[in-house]
Amino acid sequence: MTAAAELFRQRGYAATGIKAVLEASDAPYGSLYHFFPGGKQQLGVTVIETGGDVYKQLVRTMYDEHGDDVVAATRRFFEGAAELLESTGFADACPIATIAGEIAGSNEPMRLASAKAFGSWIDELDERFQHAGLPPEASHALAVELFCLIEGAFLLARTIRDATPVRVAGHRAAASLEGALVRVSAR
């Protein structure tokens, strides 16, 4: 499954054939259908679910490291993302975005798995922001904003081969969050 995740992320779902997945994983042909009787689509859903869980844990870990300082955690999250992009030659970013953008209108099971994964990341951020003192409506809006900033920044950074968009988006995300917290504390 690791080989499939890497190939889907690099090449896209449609451009990755079963044969390429099996060759990259050194697995016999029949093994795919033994573990994934639903074939490539079931493998794709599993890749999305697994990637979603891994990144949710990454979000949780990044925010746990900074305790209640969600602004510092947000800055570090974006800086870590920029460093990851640079260290991988702009090949590694979101494990789901490439697939999600490709299949959103054509593969309902994979779209649903992508929506669930993205939703879990937003929920994790929302929970952290509420714990920091933001009311639910503001917290959720900021969680969505942060998610959109990181995903858009990933796309632009990978395209132009420069991590500056991730860093700029990180500054904006931290400023938005800090501003919201200041407004709440001023009430």
Q: Which of 51-60, 93-102, 103-112, 134-143 has the lowest mean pLDDT?
A: 93-102
Q: What is the pLDDT of residues 76-95, one digit of tens each?
A: 999 999 999 999 999 877 87
Q: What is the pLDDT of residues 18-57, one digit of tens each?
A: 899 999 998 888 888 888 999 999 999 999 999 999 999 9
**CA 180 to chain centroid:** 24
Q: How many CB atoms lie within 10 A of CB 41?
A: 15
Distance CA 161, CA 183 (A): 37
**CATH of segment(s) 45-186:** 1.10.357.10
The pLDDT score that the predictor gives to residue 177 is 97
The pLDDT score that the predictor gives to residue 92 is 74
Q: For the chain, which residues make up each domain, given as ranges?
A: 45-186
DSSP string, 133-155: T--HHHHHHHHHHHHHHHHHHHH
What's the residue count for the chain? 187
The pLDDT score that the predictor gives to residue 66 is 81
The pLDDT score that the predictor gives to residue 42 is 94
- Measure Cα distances from 106 to 12, 66, 94, 109 in Å: 14, 40, 20, 9
Mean per-residue pLDDT, 161-182: 97
Full-model pTM? 0.90
Q: Which two tokens stand for residue 47?
A: 């890749």
The pLDDT score that the predictor gives to residue 91 is 84
